[in-house]
Structure 1
Amino acid sequence: MDPTLLYWKSHGESFLSRLQIWVSVLDPAHLLASDPEIEKAHISFGSEDKLNEKDGNSPNLLPLASIHSDTGAPLPLFFRPPAFLPISGPMVVASLLPHNGIKPALFWQFLLQSYAAGFSHANRNVSSEQGKKTSLKQLLLIAGTVSYTTCAGALPQILINRLSVTSAPLQAFFRSILPIPLSALLAYFTVSTVRSDESENGIQVFDSDGNSVGLSKAAGAKAVRETALSRAALFGTTAAVPNLLLLLLRRRGLFQRNSLLVAPLRHIAIAFVVGLMIPVSFSLYPQLGTIKKEDVEVELQAATDNKWLFYHRGL
């Protein structure tokens, strides 16, 4: 088991402890580290952890921010966890803003959905794909997912234009209400499809000592489902809070008299919520997940005496 997973096992048992770790891991300064620095920190991570636990100091969390826990190799720069907010944040803001036409809506949805699919693919569990290149099937699946979610994400604007919606209540519904469930569903769909190989081929599970027991499809399905739910919570909440907040504030006299305040407030609210929700959503489920022995395949149950098995959830 990789030292980063061992760290999550001993330090990420509760939601609050995971949240505290993710707030530190998501520091954009981690993106400035070179690959040799990352690899050096990864090699010494296990021993540093033990020393720092004894001294009461925090270990260097650079490996958690940069290393893939299955391969032990540095993640692509743009798909590392600390890059998620700086890159996706502006896309989320732009995609949730009201557009005057279909093309701008499709453009921003394409950028957001492409990055979301790429991030899920780069941070997936690859324990059943060691030494293999990305297959043509996976590439086509990712391309199809991005195409579908781009069109579906722009659906509110498409409906407004095609149906020539001019009614204020209907426009409010299409711009403020419909994007909430739509954002959550599309986020869930993206993770589920991009990482579907984990459910089909299984992922590696470990016993309590960190020894590999084998590949489990049940654990793979659980890992994908947990990550998809956490991503749905991220994008669904990001769409819900600013839109509902603006709907309430528009009834106030101040915003009725000063309509120019609405646009900057929308930008600020979306950016604030997405920045807050990223570490929260990453912390909803343990990075080192657990599954009951009786829930995995029969051949794996016979290979260990542990009641619980562990797996890398991915991100």
Structure 2
Amino acid sequence: MDPNLLYWKSQGQSVLSRVRIWCELLDPSLLLCSDAQLQRARSLAGGGETSEKDAAAQTLALSSIHADSGAVLPLLFRPPALMPVSAPLVVASFLPHNSVKPALFWQLLLQSYNAGFNYTNRNSSSQQSKTASLKQLLLIAGTVSYATCAGALPQIFINRLGVRSAPIQTFLRSILPIPLSAALAFFSVSTIRIEETETGIQVFDSHGSPVGISKAAGEKAVRETALSRAALFGTTAAVPNLLIALLKRTKLFQRNSLLVAPLRHISIALILGLMIPVSFSLFPQLGTIKKETLEKELQAAAADGHLFYHRGL
């Protein structure tokens, strides 16, 4: 079992402890380290040491090294890059637009980045090739295209149908994006990582030894990650809209309507930043699957009643 997975096996047993760990791993300053430093950190992290130096190496390895391949993750798709890269895209995508083109543009950027992040941080334990196949590339392109058009639907409805009613515009701009954002986030993870459900992922026994490939574990890993991503984007869409709706009732914002726009920007970025470590922590990185839900040929290996699998991110 990879040193990163061994760490998650011994740490992060509760949601709160995982949140604390992810708050450290999401530090953007970790992006400044070179590939050579990351490889040294990986070697130190696997040495079983407990010194302060090795704790820092462990943090660096967890944030930048893929647990299946052992390769350094691309800079833009490392977990610490998610907040600084996606925040401006999410803010721009959630803002009300005057026409369809800017809505499509920002949705295209956001959905493209989400697809890249989902693919890069998937479980790749069953894949023989490190390069994406033509089928996978077409699937990614189709997912991005569909999610882009679906994400811009509220603006498309307003423009193409000539919606002028204030209540309907409020519904399309403030309410519809909440379930839509959650559904598209769930859809993106489920489709980008569908290969894990079709071919399965590697499972481990309690000693960390690989015992086989399980489709049931792949389905569970993808479902958990999709739910966590839906919680991330659904909450990021819901809370700022609720906050703005409440503040618009106050005299301060009724007299100073120009305060609404900057508050919307700040609240979206703030909620996104708070929700990223929470959403990553909803399910363990090293998940467990019960013996009775495994394939028959793998049940004998589950001596403790369960096996372990890498969930991906």
Q: Do both proteins adopt the same fold according to a TM-score greater than 0.5, normalized to the shorter chain?
A: yes
Whether the 8 Å CA contact 1:213–1:304 is kept in 2: the answer is no
Matching of residues 151-230 of structure 1 within 5 Å: 151-230=149-228
Task: Name the structure 2 match of 1:3.
Answer: 3
Give secondary structure in 1 for the equivalent of 2:50.
helix
Is 1:51 aligned with 2:50?
yes
Deviation, structure 1 residue 131? 3.3
Q: Deviations over 1:83-136 (max 9, x none)?
A: 000100100000000000000000000000000000000000001103342111
Say whether the 8 Å CA contact 1:213–1:300 is kept in structure 2. Answer: yes
Answer yes or no: is the 8 Å Cα contact 2:211–2:301 preserved in 1: yes
Q: Quick one: distance in 1 between partners of 2:99 and 2:53?
A: 56
CA distance in 1, matches of 2:119, 2:46: 27
CA pair 36-56 structure 1, distance change in 2 beyond 3 A: closer
Distance 2:274 2:31 in 1: 20
Match in the other structure for 2:109: 111
Shift of 1:197: 0.3
Match of 2:124 among 123, 126, 144: 126
Which residue of the partner structure matches residue 23 of structure 1? 23
Q: Distance in 2 between matches of 1:131 and 1:210?
A: 24
CA distance in 2 between counterparts of 1:176 and 1:296 reads 42
Name the aligned partner's letter for residue 259 of structure 1.
Answer: S
Alignment of 1:33-52 (within 5 A): 33-47=33-47, 50-52=49-51
CA contact (8 A) 2:26 2:79 kept: yes
CA distance in structure 1 between the aligned counterparts of 2:257 and 2:301, rounded to whole angstroms: 66
**Mapped pair 1:100 → 2:98:** yes
User: What amino acid maps onto 1:191 in structure 2?
Assistant: V
Q: Which amino acid aligns with 2:229?
A: R
Identify which range, 82-91 or 297-306, moves more after superposition: 297-306
**Alpha-carbon offset, residue 58 of structure 1:** 4.2
- TM-score for the superposition, normalised by structure 2: 0.97
What's the counterpart of residue 252 of structure 1? Answer: 250
1:281 matched to 2:274: no
Distance in 1 (CA, whole Å) between partners of 2:182 and 2:15 is 21
Matches within 5 A, 1:71-86: 71-86=69-84
Identity of aligned residues (%): 70
Checking the alignment, whether the CA contact within 8 Å between 1:2 and 1:70 is kept in structure 2 is yes
Candidates 291, 310, 313, aligned match of 1:312: 310
TM-superposition CA deviations, 1:210-258 (whole Å, max 9, x none): 0001000000000000000000000000000001111111122221221
Amino acid corresponding to residue 80 of structure 2 in structure 1 = P
Q: Which runs of 5+ in 1 are unaligned?
A: none
SS in 2 for 1:285: coil
* Aligned 8 A contact 1:110 1:146 in 2: yes
- Which stretches in structure 2 are left out of the alignment for 5+ residues? none
CA distance in 2, matches of 1:248, 1:51: 49
8 Å CA contact retained: 2:45, 2:54: no
Following superposition, the deviation at residue 51 of structure 1 comes to: 2.1
- Contact map agreement 1:71 1:130 (CA 8 A) in 2: no
Distance of aligned partners of 1:247 and 1:83 in 2 relative to their CA distance in 1, 3 Å threshold: same
CA distance in 2, matches of 1:5, 1:132: 20
CA contact (8 A) 2:205 2:302 kept: yes
Aligned pair partner of 1:148 in 146, 149, 153: 146
Measure the CA separation in 2 of the matches of 1:39 and 1:219. 29
Counterpart residue identity of residue 135, structure 1: S
Q: 1:57 deviation in Å?
A: 8.8
SS class of match (2:145): helix
Query: How many residues are matched?
Result: 312
Query: In the aligned structure 2, how far is the partner of 1:59 from the partner of 1:66?
Result: 12
Q: Output the amino acid matched with 2:122.
A: R
